[in-house]
Amino acid sequence: MAQRLVRTLCPDCKQTAAVDKPGWRELTHPFKAPVPDCCNVPVGCLKCRNTGYRGRAGLYEIMLLSHGLSEKVDAGCDIDAIRRQAIVEGMRTLRISGAHKVAAGMTTIEEIMRVTPAGGRFN
């Protein structure tokens, strides 16, 4: 299990904007997630102390140990192979969890990219 907290956009001042398509592709890679029609961006007001964010939400990644995965676990196991198999079996990565929150207008692509490390097993 992996989890991260992301800042959520202030509901009083967030504004609708066009989706950064290259950013969306980087966020959802290697999955082929459809680009949302629009997203929200931070603005800033007195209620959020001009940050554009107010509150936090969790991103979660849970890998269930199936029979196929348990066969791959040994002393010299390849962690990337285990991760790929878990994704094939339906595990949602932290970044895909974040992409759902971006599409729902709760946070931004930049915020998800900030809290989920690039490359390898944590995104």
pLDDT, residue 88, reads: 87
Q: What is the pLDDT along the chain (123 residues), one digit of tens a residue?
A: 899 999 999 999 999 999 999 999 999 988 888 999 999 999 999 999 999 999 999 999 998 888 888 887 877 788 888 888 888 888 889 999 999 999 999 999 999 999 997 754 444
Longest Cα–Cα distance of the chain, Å, equals 55
CB 112 within 8 A of CB 27: yes
pLDDT for position 119: 57
pLDDT at residue number 90: 86
Residue 89 tokens, joined: 């079996």
CA distances from 107 to 28, 82, 92 (A): 15, 30, 18
- Nearest by Cα to 103 from 22, 50, 28, 2: 28
